[in-house]
Amino acid sequence: MTSVPTRGKDDRPTMVDPGFRHALAPLPLGARTLRNRIVSTAHQTGLVHDHLPTDDLVAYHRERARGGIGAIFLEASAVHPSGLLTPHTIGAYLPEAVPALARVADAVHEEGAALLVQLFHGGREQIAIAPKAPAVAPSAVPTTRFHVEPRALTRREIAGLVAGYGLAARHVTEAGLDGIEVSAAHAYLPAQFLASRSNVRTDEYNGDLRARLRFLVEALSAVHDNTDRPVGVRLALDEISPDGLTKDTCLDVAATLCELVSLDFVSFALGDSATYRGSAYIAPAPPVARNVVLDLLAGVRDAVPAGVAVLATTRVLELADADRAIADGLTDLVGMTRAHIADPHLVRKAVAGERAIPCIGCNQACIGHYHAGVPIGCVMNVRTGREAHLPQPRPSRAPRRTLVVGGGPAGVAAAHAAATAGHDVALVEREPELGGQLRLAGRAPGHRETWLRWQEWATAELKRLGVDVRLGVTAGPGDGVDEFDHVVVATGAHPHRPPLPAGFAVVDAWTALADPGAVPGPVLVADWGGEPTGLDVAEVLAAAGTAVTLAYSAPAPGEQIHQYQRNGYLARLDAAGVDLLPHLELAECSGDLVLRNVFSGRTRPIDDGIRTVVVAHGREPETALWAELEPDPRVELVGDAAGPRGLEEATLEGTMAISRVIADRPDRVRVPDTAAPGQEQNRTDVVAAGRPPTSAVSSTGDGLQKL
């Protein structure tokens, strides 16, 4: 069994005996040997300014290297100004990129990991804000997802782009990076030459497969001419897209490319950026199966010559699954990117036998932030993207008694943060299970895995930390609350129910989700188009055999849901036979319940066959307890109780509430009796988060005696 380095008490590498001997075995790659086979593949972070890495990006990747990963692929870095996918894309063609990239490389190397970079040109795929630069592509064929209308590249322009690959390769080599991956997947520029839907040229860059590979071969040759580091390519394994590259075609591409140019590794991923269906597989969310890429690797070894390492990435979340794929000879390296966004110390924790923070597949703060143009985050780990500013929590030397009311994500986050800081924590939840709204959402396919992974983690972590969890208990103002130093109110929300005229059986979406078999059909789901509830209930009712019509009042169904999730919902609803009625809201007209177009105001009657109207019209905060406790300076209001939003806000606010209770105390406080007389502690163990000071209230009572 292979030994791998982890961190000892003095922060120096210590050799231990791991349980995942295939995944954690070293792998030679060029002149460098990777310490293990687990990698973080290229993903955009938003931690880039003026097309250069920032201090935040350095800290982000340093943390993942510190956590024991074998290699990190720096995010897609443009080889030419025309290849900048967003305003936050690294410009590897810039001379200023050399020292900036070197800082990232130094940080990653100091922690024992390798750093590679993905060289990139988006071609006609362009996510840009106005004023937009003109887009270029093999041919002047508009793209259907981003609605970009490109100009066909001339031969002179192609030569300029090829030179850009060489210049970028020289820059990253000078910066001290360990290898280069050329992006030719996801229907970006090199892949646009490969596909007949985007390449209708009549010159030497179109024709048979070798002709369509010409641009990529020229780009890879230019990279080779300007680096002595390992060179690889990212390819699609299957674009899973209408008129896109199928798996058979992708394997032919890999085999032919390996004949035409020298490669050290080939990285395979799924999906494409050009279509709605294909894009959902770039970072697929549940219910797309975990390990989806591993299940498609059959035939890859036949296409890729011996001596060329294979890397597979797309929704691999557990180290055991990666280890098994490597042991079975399916791949040499496994990308566990979103798993490391959730927990950068996944490898270290696995070696130590500790539980890692799980990726729950929600896409809200990782790729969701990218598409929103803001820095990366994680619903499960508030430190992600904040590594430079939010240090790891340390146990407090002045423990306090903390009460958390509400066992949803906000309450669990608060309890977890308080217990991690060494406080004495009690959590009360009126329902028989933790989870709040997430538990209800877990009844739907789109959230089932998210709920189960969160529930398993939350239950185990609260038990490990010794949190006193009391289920089926309702806390009131007089129920022992005064016995606590700090109270977090995380009581969540309830459905908003608009006043409606009689005439139909009307139920709210939460009731329908809880017991879909009790809802008579056919059903009209009236969805305001915000959060996922309307789509969830339509899918659940259809799966129960009910005829469902979904009327949504937003410009698009699930308007606030991340696009990859929304794409999946719409595919599943179509397959289930759910009829969609766009831009219609419930309204009253002459005492009757009707549907009204939100743009024109025109009304139409509800179909006579409808027996039940299910209303998904948003939520209202549950503030009864807060109204009683609000004057008390010990009390914090977090999550949906403060205003219904999403999982990210819930976990962030729950966690930061614990940071504030420390920051709100005087800078120097007495230490418990275990310290020497007069000894004091400078309170720097947690970080403040924007709340004015409040007074402290202490107590030595038992607390919650009435509960």
Which pairing describes strands 584-589 and 592-597: parallel, antiparallel, or unpaired? Answer: antiparallel
| Exposed/middle/buried for residue 114 (C-beta within 10 Å: 0-12, 13-18, 19+) | buried
> If you write DSSP's letter for every residue of 16-34 in order, what string do you get?
E--S-TTTTS-EEETTEEE
Residue 459 corresponds to which amino acid? T
Cβ within 8 Å of residue 23, ≥6 positions away: 36, 37, 38, 319, 322, 323, 326, 334
As to burial, measured by CB atoms within 10 angstroms (0-12 exposed, 13-18 middle, 19+ buried), residue 328 is: exposed
Q: Residues 42, 46, 51, 52: is their CA dihedral positive or negative? A: negative
Catalytic residues: 188
Burial 64-80 (b: 16+ CB within 10 A, else e): bbbbbbbbbbbbbbbbb
Crossing angle of helices 214-225 and 155-174, rounded to 10°: 30
State how far the Cα of 140 lies from the Cα of 87, in Å rounded to an integer: 23
Pairing of strands 52-53, 48-49: antiparallel
CA distance 392 to 412: 18
Answer whether 161's CB lies under 8 Å from 153's CB.
yes
Residue 260: phi and psi, rounded to 5, are -90, -25
CA angle 321, 327, 328 (to 5 degrees): 90
Provide the token pair at 190: 């090199």
